[in-house]
Structure 1
């Protein structure tokens, strides 16, 4: 379709009015919506205002199919293109062809555009109101959501703070419990109360106390004079005491004024012990004050330290009694012509250091000498007491003229009757000076060794009888072995030859080699021979059991 163009000169207000009316009619005929018509006519009206002042303008209108091109020349040139739903009429009408009726119709038609615009405005305002209300509700929801999020964030922060605090408290409790367990183990590992007293300051300083003082109430070396009044009160009442410039407020601890001896330093005085007060542990605070949780741990540690001290004292008393009893049982060896004797007793290097090992040697009315060595199972005071009973009974049976086998049989019956579930081993050798032999019997004891004058060592490996006290009837046998002048008989307990890392047979072989290696000078002085024999047997490790060694060497009368 060919474009149609027309130019309309505008020389005054009447031309401007006709031009506007003609444009309104063209757009109406072309089906342009009222709102678009009102918008374009408003723009054209504003552009035509210079005509009111007498200014000349020219409007060129071009219809190109369904498009309307408007070009306005004048003081401010303006161009606009409008899409029309329907084709424009051809040829285009001219403004000067419009009569009064057409103008009136255009004037009345302008109200339709205005009404359409106003209706659109009403709809827009209603829509704006709706959206404004919707926006308000949305804003209220957003504000409420922000409030909830803020509350949730605060609650989460509180939870995180509570969790962080709980973790810190749990870690602190774990650290205190770990220290309490380790410190308790260190204190209970020793049975020497002096060692326990030395360990306490090392455990507590400097983390839990600046200074530590231990006062044992029944120790004459540590008097109450010069002690803080809080320590004396703790010893008397058995309650923990706190003395400082400010109240401590510690759980289970009484508050006292500051100590006159240490007015600027908080003190914590803790009784040592549970049922009875062994002493008082006085601590000066590592900082400005004592921590409550740490104080609870320190009170428990003081209680356990007191128990450890009490156990150590009871152990030492028990050990002293047992040692005295055992020393009383190990009598001096008799001096017999034609027979040299030497003995050694070594307590175990671990534990109570008191066991049931013993040796004995005594002359018989017929001139012979009974050499005895034995070992009661177990350690401690009970083993030492049973050992003393066996030694006394053995001497009594020997005085009646019984031989080694008969003595062992009587001891076996006595032990089964008086001490069930308690066993012992024993070896008895009867040596008659001047006679080249030895009569012996054994009850479950390690075999004796004989060193001939030439240095050859024999093991008396005849099968021994059962251990004393085993609940079976048993008659022991006697054996005879050559023992020429210059020969040495070695009796010993299993503590000398038995080690955890090796069997007893290997230990007996080592002892035989050591006995064979003794020189003539050492054998002439039998005490030196005993020491020389022990050195290679004990040099490699500590021994867990008591050791008894009895050497018998025949000489020329």
Structure 2
């Protein structure tokens, strides 16, 4: 149903507004929607009155296809020009479901004051409802605004906490990275220090240690070519002779090196402070002012023995590097001191041992050849020894022995045993009796030192070999027919053990052309193989010689015998060999007078 009002004056507009409000109320439109519709309509009608002319207000109740109804309001000019393409003003209000309006009547509003007043009061009631609703909405908005504000404050606080946590996490990560880098650097320094220490202590040659220091330090911790080792106890010509060696040079020394030697403290010479722990700062060196120098004394138990001087690989060292270099220098000084002490003791022991290994005597019908090779590792001086001398009755005593241990003590004990044996042999006695007296002598003289020995006795009037052994590898005998066998009759125990023993003599025929090999365990014993395979190799090598070789050149035969047995140039123990060859001709007219060479090989 369509209702229409003609509007040309304010009164017409007021009546149309009141009628529209009443229709909206009759169709159940809520006060808020009704007020919104009436307010919009009033504003439109005010514009129409301002423009002037006659206007037509239409209100239609129409059904909605999906069910329900709506209220359509339209304001348009009553007489619309043909060229006016503007759309009329329209408003639509959806009616509530089940709302039933009174479609009867034409919507006429009386002109009397009472009706207008009633309409005015009705509009005020709608405005009051809207205001109440507005107050309620404002309170709700205020509540939600406060809630949103609190939420925003919480979000801001959370963002602040997250940002602080992020910064703290970044700081922790950076600290962890720095700590990890420092740990890696520290591990690298410790690894370098351990490896360098092992390399320094592996050598007992102080010249080699000095040459090794630049190789270890350059270029990681020192500029290439800058490492110099100044040893005080070496003469100037020694440095001059080694000027081409790494780590040494001749010429004037920096003042910082002299101060390090005098004060026993590391010195840093540069045009700026080094800030290194335990290091004194000094002015730059006059020899090379542009090059920083770190001078570290090589300390011994009593006083500095030298100074290690170097330049940094970059501009300077950091504190941890300096501490590590000082510790490495301390270990290098200990290694150099130990090497010098070892070299000193070795020289003394070698001198003593050279003096003790005398020439072999010449005996008609019997030739002797001896070889002594010191161990290639360690002190190079041990207790292996051999000897040969005549007895008053014309017999010849040959002996080979081995005192346990190495070094000066073993060499001195070997000398005492050699002297004691010669003294006992003056009174005569068989090999077994002589070994028995040596056993008693050693047990009382050095209760904690032991020895092994074999004594063999030759006599020009007796074609029999008499021998006795005390804990020593058995002698090897080659007969003229080329057969070789070990004289492995049961030996006695080692000399010097806390046991009363009487060593027995053994005899074996010794026809012309026979060769007896006495030796120490260094010749036949190898690690993880035992001694028996070595004795077998010695027997096989001795069997390969012909009688004419042994008769004609016993010295050369000794060398050729050792060659296959010592194929490795390195051996851990001393090697001692004594060959005793009975010439095929008993008279041995070719025997030269005088003592034969001992063949000493040191």
1:281 and 2:296 correspond:
no
Change (3 A) 1:237 1:89: closer
Which of the numbers 432, 445, 448 marks the counterpart of 2:459?
A: 432
Report SS of the residue matched to 1:402: coil
**CA deviation digits over 1:508-556, x for unaligned, max 9?**
1111111111134431211111111101111156322111111111122
Measured after TM superposition, the shift of residue 108 of structure 1 is 1.7
| Aligned-partner Cα distance in 2 for 1:454–1:128 | 130
Looking at structure 2, the residues matched to 26 and 207 of structure 1 have their Cα atoms a distance apart, in angstroms, of 101
1:212 is aligned to 2:212 = no
Q: Cα distance, 1:104 vs. partner? A: 2.9
Q: For 1:283 and 1:235, locate their aligned partners in 2 and report how far apart those are by CA, in whole Å.
A: 15
Query: Which of 88, 107, 110 pairs up with 1:95?
Result: 107
2:26 paired residue number: 29
Range 304-313 or range 540-549, more displaced: 540-549
Which residue among 242, 247, 253 is the counterpart of 1:227?
253
Aligned residue in 2 for 1:325: 352
Deviates more, 1:141-150 or 1:538-547: 141-150
Deviation at 1:142, TM superposition (A): 3.3
Q: Residues of 2 paired with 1:203 and 1:190: CA distance?
A: 14
414-423 or 509-518, larger mean C-alpha shift: 414-423
Inter-partner Cα distance in structure 2 for 1:70 and 1:314: 122
SS at structure 2 position matched to 1:473? coil
Contact 2:267–2:296 (8 Å) recurs in 1? yes
Q: Which deviates more from structure 2 when the two are superposed, residues 65-74 or residues 32-41?
A: 65-74
Secondary structure of 2:189's aligned partner: helix
Which range moves more in the overlay, 52-61 or 224-233?
Answer: 52-61
TM-score for both structures, normalised by structure 2: 0.88
Q: Which residue does 1:112 correspond to in 2?
A: 125
Q: 1:74 aligns with which of 49, 73, 76?
A: 76
8 Å Cα contact 2:384-2:414 kept in structure 1? yes
Cα distance in 2 for partners of 1:152, 1:249 equals 37
- Residue in structure 1 matching 2:556, options 500, 525, 528: 528
Native 8 Å contact 2:3 2:107 kept in 1: no
Cα distance in structure 2, aligned partners of 1:350 and 1:214:
26
Corresponding position of 1:186: 199
Q: Distance in 2 between matches of 1:444 and 1:308?
A: 38
Cα distance in 2 for residues equivalent to 1:126 and 1:97? 38
Q: 1:373 to 1:89 in 2, by over 3 A?
A: closer
Residue 44 (structure 2) pairs with residue 42 (structure 1)? no
What are structure 2's unaligned runs of at least 5 residues? 78-87, 241-249, 588-602
Does the Cα contact within 8 Å between 2:513 and 2:547 map onto a contact in 1? no
Answer yes or no: is the 8 Å Cα contact 1:427–1:442 preserved in 2.
yes
Local SS of the residue matching 2:452:
strand
For residues 268 and 492 of structure 1, the distance between their equivalents in structure 2, rounded to whole angstroms, comes to 55
Structure-1 residue corresponding to 2:415: 388
CA-to-aligned-CA distance 1:380-427 (integer Å, 9 cap, x gap): 111111111111111111001111111011111111112112211111
Give the C-alpha shift of residue 190 in structure 1.
Answer: 0.3
Specify the SS of the correspondent of 1:358: strand
Report the Cα offset of residue 77 of structure 1: 4.0
Worse-matched range after superposition: 124-133 or 398-407? 124-133
Q: 1:135 to 1:60 in 2, by over 3 A?
A: closer
Q: 1:38-59 CA deviation, whole Å, 9 max, x = no partner?
A: 0011122233331562322141
Give the distance between the partners of 1:97 and 1:338, measured in 2 at CA: 172
Aligned mates of 2:566, 2:275 — CA distance in 1: 58
Structure 1 residue 162: Cα displacement: 1.7
405, 418, 430: which is aligned to 2:445? 418
Task: Report SS of the residue matched to 1:393.
Answer: helix
Give the equivalent residue in structure 1 for 2:184. 171
For the 8 Å contact 2:19–2:109, the answer to whether it is kept is no
- Alpha-carbon RMSD: 2.0
Q: Does 1:134 align with 2:161?
A: no
> What is residue 598 of structure 2 aligned with on the other side?
none
Question: What is the CA–CA distance in structure 1 between the aligned matches of 2:205 and 2:519, rounded to whole Å?
Answer: 31
Partner of 2:56: 57
Tell which deviates more after alignment, 70-79 or 191-200: 70-79
Structure 1 residue 66: Cα displacement: 6.1
Question: TM-score of the superposition, structure 1-length normalised?
Answer: 0.95
CA contact (8 A) 1:216 1:222 kept: no
**Alignment check: 8 A CA contact 2:454 2:468 kept:** yes
Structure 1: 5+ residue runs without aligned partners? Answer: none
Contact 1:345 1:547 in 2 (8 A): yes
CA contact (8 A) 2:300 2:337 kept: no
| Structure 1, 118-127 or 105-114: larger mean CA deviation | 118-127
Question: Does residue 1:551 correspond to 2:579, yes or no?
Answer: yes
